[in-house]
Structure 1
Amino acid sequence: SLQSLRFWSPSRLVEAALKAAVEHRAQGVLVAGGLDDELDALVSLDRAVGLLGCSPREFKRARSLRAVMEAAARSGVATPKAALCRTPGEAAEAARRIGLPAVLKPDRTSGGYGIRVARSLEDIIREFKVVASHSRSHVVLQEYIEGADASVSLIATGQDAVAVSLNQQILGLRELGQLEPLGYSGNITPLRLGRAESEIREACEELCRRLGLRGSIGVDFVVRDGEAYLMEVNPRFQATLECVEEAYGVNLVELHLSALEGKLPEPVKASRYAARLIVYAKQPCRVGYLHDISGVRDVPPPGTTIEKRAPVCSVLSTAQTPEQALRSCLEKAREVYEKTVYSIRSHETGISLRRKALEGAQCL
């Protein structure tokens, strides 16, 4: 019978992780995405096996809006104005104070799902229910910062930190099936920011020190007019892992484990660019044999059925320029679609993809 790949749930993920830990006699668990705001799940994993990295308490601190904004202010990191809202009326009132356009975010985020941009009070009232459906108790209304989406990948010991890489984020690529306006679609590493780069690195390192984080840490931000505005802190491995390793020639898992012993890496320069894109199902589909496509990652078994909007796989490429790396990823994505019933139909689609994905870099 065909396997069915559905959207994940924290309980199923923890159940699968605990089962695998017992089967393989694991000495600990490395946390990637999906559990940032699932404190109960993190506690269960920590008690049963042990988290190799930030503790549940450190996760909670890094995901607390108040704690992060206080640490950012002391670290010299700019933050957008924000307010916690429980009703559409509270959100509308907050928007009058903060200004429009504004961003409505769930109080727990994963890959940008459930985030909406409101350009009027009517938008806020209409979109609040959608965003609240992804939240536990409240919705975050945040000042909208228009600029280039980016992130910093760091290694931290709890007392000190080193920024390994700056990365360009690619969000909301509908051409690859990502229907969420600010949903994660991929990234390009490294991101060159000129004189602003060293300031951003130092500020993010100080932020990690003040939050007392350990291991592999990601800081998401938006760059506007050369200034970085903090969006969120991810106290675990990030989706940029493969690109950072390919571009810089490092092993982030080894650096992560060394940091838990108090050892920080020496700064390393990138030798090339790496790009990674996530290929999402544009409609329910059945996956073909994808292993013969160079650079394909996160591959489901042939015959797996995948629901619309769920990820099919990811594709990775390296090159001497970011444009070349991205172009190669797009070609591989087309091959994936050809093996999953449908395909990208025209050369023009590829051109628009490249233009949109590189728009942030051109603005810099």
Structure 2
Amino acid sequence: MKNILVIGFSTRNIVCSGSRAGYNMYSIDAFCDYDLQQCAKGFAKLDIGESFDASRISLADVSDLIESFDVKFDAIIPGSGFEMIGLERLPFWILGNDPRIMAEVSDKHLFSIFLKKRGIAHPETVLLDEIGALEFPLMVKPACSGGGIFNMKVNNSHDLIVLYSRLKEAGLPPGKSKIIAQEFVDGIPASVSVLSTRDRAVAIVVNEQLIGTSWLTEMPFAYCGNITPFETPYASEMKQIAENLILELGLVGSNGVDFIITEKGPIVIEVNARFQGSLDSVEMATGLNLLESHLKAFEGIIDISAEIPGVKGNGNANKYAGRCILYSDRKMVMTEAVRDMLLERNVCDVPVAGQFIGPNEPVISVLNSGNDRDEVIRGMKDSVTFIRESLNLLNPE
């Protein structure tokens, strides 16, 4: 295998992982970040307008972009949001999960029914028009959306009125218009990274999730990155749950399971049946190449062992590593001079010069590693302070 194409809204982490493994990586991407361009042999930009809804993108348009490379691709990897646009109808080896499985896993309402039938701890979940069956406080979110930017906590009936008004004003795209309500679960967000074949699943490591982190975003439930590994007495239990879920669902390759760790133990939130945002921190902490491991899993091979020693027994981690995502607080347009200043730090997902960035949109990601969690956080905070000062040189759009 030589030439691999990744298709998604943001594919930098997958493309750069594949480049490090020695593959010729190509990308169809909505941003075409500076560092993606450095890793990719070729790239094409998706025209998504103001929408992050893949259902609005036709397979014919994607096919035209694929043909524009004039490259014989050995495989195509669907990124987040593109798992169910019909890529399996194209004459390529698609290194992604079965769209029929994805339809159930990606829909948080259907997935809640799946978990309930199996007695797996999960927040009570209903469709929005059945919200009266639950007690406040509640978490309201699109059934088929990631990133947490549309998630809202509802504490009382007045908040519910405000919520309906906001949903009406938001004009959510069709792919995010199905809304669910869940009982609000308080705890620590975490995830388990898993590699799997049809008949074997190995949980690599438990990750801490940074959600609504105040020094990165104003949005209370926005996904802001990961720290790997996460030390918890529930690590073994979470890894076992994740392995069993992935196997029962029939998922292959690199997949993840999100949890909330409560006072009573871990509760499953959702399954990410694709490469996860934790890819960078997992690779940095473990030394694995997840793109290479993903490819081998589709060939029926998992070449790591669950018994590999890790940090304090947390599985397969040799050091601590983190990636955090800084969100914008205003409209701005990236300049070449500021971009070059940002590149002085250990960053990724770097906007190209001329890139428009709206309020509450991701600006850039920061990477760091260290001997413990505190060292990783200190380094990332130091870089974020430098980046904020650099961004102040940008004129508002």
How many positions carry a matched residue from both structures? 328
Residue 123 of structure 2 corresponds to residue 84 of structure 1: no
Percent identity, aligned pairs only?
28
The answer on 1:139 being equivalent to 2:146 is no
Alpha-carbon offset, residue 76 of structure 1:
5.6
CA, structure 1 residues 182+223, in 2 after alignment: closer, same or farther (shift >3 Å)? same
Mapping 1:87-166, distance limit 5 Å: 87=129, 90-91=130-131, 93=132, 97-131=133-167, 133-134=171-172, 136=174, 137-166=177-206
1:19 and 2:65 equivalent? yes
Q: Does residue 1:232 correspond to 2:232, yes or no?
A: no
Q: What is the distance in 2 between the residues matched to 1:331 and 1:7? A: 32
User: TM-score by structure 1 length?
Assistant: 0.81
What displacement does 1:70 show?
Answer: 5.0
Q: So what's the TM-score if we normalise by structure 2?
A: 0.75
| CA–CA distance in structure 2, aligned partners of residues 75 and 21 of structure 1 | 44
Contact 1:4 1:306 in 2 (8 A): no
SS of the residue 2:104 aligns to? helix
Q: 1:276 Cα deviation (Å)?
A: 0.8
Residue 96 (structure 2) pairs with residue 60 (structure 1): no
Provide the secondary structure at the position in 1 that maps to 2:367.
strand
Output aligned runs, 1:272-351, within 5 Å: 272-287=319-334, 288-290=338-340, 292-341=343-392
- From 261, 264, 267, give the equivalent of 1:223: 261
| Secondary structure in 1 matching 2:75 | coil
Matches within 5 A, 1:167-186: 167-176=207-216, 178-186=217-225
CA distance in 2 between counterparts of 1:69 and 1:159 reads 24
Structure 1 residues 312, 336: CA separation in 2 closer, same or farther (over 3 Å shift)? same
1:32 aligns to 2:82 (yes or no): no
Which segment is superposed worse, 268-277 or 17-26?
17-26
Change (3 A) 1:168 1:244: same
Q: Structure 1 residues 33, 4: CA separation in 2 closer, same or farther (over 3 Å shift)?
A: closer
**Tell me, what secondary structure is at the counterpart of 1:309?**
coil
Is the CA contact (8 Å cut-off) linking 1:114 and 1:134 kept in structure 2?
Answer: no
2 CA distance for matches of 1:260 and 1:32?
Answer: 16
Q: Is the 8 A contact 2:322 2:376 kept in 1?
A: yes
Greater RCO, 1 or 2 (C-alpha within 8 Å, sep 6+): 1
- In structure 1, list runs of 5 or more residues that go unmatched: 344-364
**Could you tell me how far 1:190 is from its partner in structure 2?**
0.5
Which is further off, 249-258 or 125-134? 125-134
- The one-character-per-residue Cα deviations of 1:47-67 (angstroms, maximum 9, x if unpaired) are 364421212122113224465
Q: Which moved more, 1:122-131 or 1:322-331?
A: 122-131
Which amino acid in structure 2 is aligned with residue 319 of structure 1? G
Kindly provide the CA deviation profile for residues 202-253 of structure 1, in whole angstroms up to 9, marking residues without a partner as x.
0111011111111111111100015111111110000100100000110111
- 1:351 alignment partner in structure 2: none
Q: Check whether the contact 2:142–2:180 (CA below 8 A) recurs between aligned residues.
A: yes
Q: CA deviation at 1:186?
A: 1.2
Give 1:20 deviation, angstroms: 4.9
Deviation at 1:330, TM superposition (A): 1.4
Give the CA deviation at 1:166. Answer: 0.7
